[in-house]
């Protein structure tokens, strides 16, 4: 009886250990590398009017000491609050010209022209 109980404890321990080591579920997909980085510096988007291809990802980095946003005029994207040093990315999937502002400083304007891939 004692050896049967010991065998059962051994099976439970091995099963638990095996489950802890191997996890077949995939992790989250890595974020795409940006085709372009737009810096928010000196209360401006730099570069102010770049062009990218459809499917490209653009990263926006706030280098200023104050918060900013990247808010599309047509409401198709919005970074939300970006504190100093924060980064936000958006993938542009359709051709066109996308204009945007900082919701906190509406004198700040930028635009991205998206061309065919």
- Cα(117)–Cα(32) distance, rounded to whole angstroms? 16
Q: How far apart are alpha carbons 32 and 14 in whole angstroms?
A: 39
Domain membership of residue 28 (yes or no) is no
101, two tokens? 């502002």
pLDDT at position 117, please?
83
Is 1 a domain residue?
no
pTM of the model: 0.74
Whether 27 is covered by a domain: the verdict is no
Residue 15 lies in a domain: no
pLDDT digits (tens, 9 = 90+) for 17-28: 444 444 445 556
Domain harbouring 55, CATH code: 2.60.40.420
In this prediction, what percent of the chain has a pLDDT beyond 70?
Answer: 73
The residue range of the domain holding 81 is 36-115
What pLDDT score was predicted for residue 7?
Answer: 46
In a domain, 100, yes or no: yes
pLDDT the model gives residue 32: 67
Residue 45 domain flag: yes
Residue 24 in domain: no
Check pLDDT > 70 for residue 90: yes
Within a 10 A sphere around the Cβ of 96, how many other Cβ atoms? 12
Does the pLDDT at position 89 exceed 60?
yes
Output the pLDDT for position 27: 57
């Amino acid at each position: 009886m004692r050896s049967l109980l010991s065998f059962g404890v051994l099976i439970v321990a091995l099963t638990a250990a095996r489950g802890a080591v191997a996890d077949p579920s995939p992790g989250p997909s890595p974020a795409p590398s940006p085709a372009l980085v737009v810096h928010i510096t000196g209360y401006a988007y730099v570069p102010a009017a770049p062009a990218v291809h459809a499917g490209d990802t653009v990263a926006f980095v706030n280098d200023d000491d104050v918060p900013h946003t990247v808010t599309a005029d047509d409401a198709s994207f919005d970074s939300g609050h970006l504190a100093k040093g924060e980064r936000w990315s958006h993938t542009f999937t359709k051709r066109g010209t996308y204009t945007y502002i900082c919701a906190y400083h509406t004198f700040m304007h930028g635009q991205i022209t998206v061309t065919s891939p």
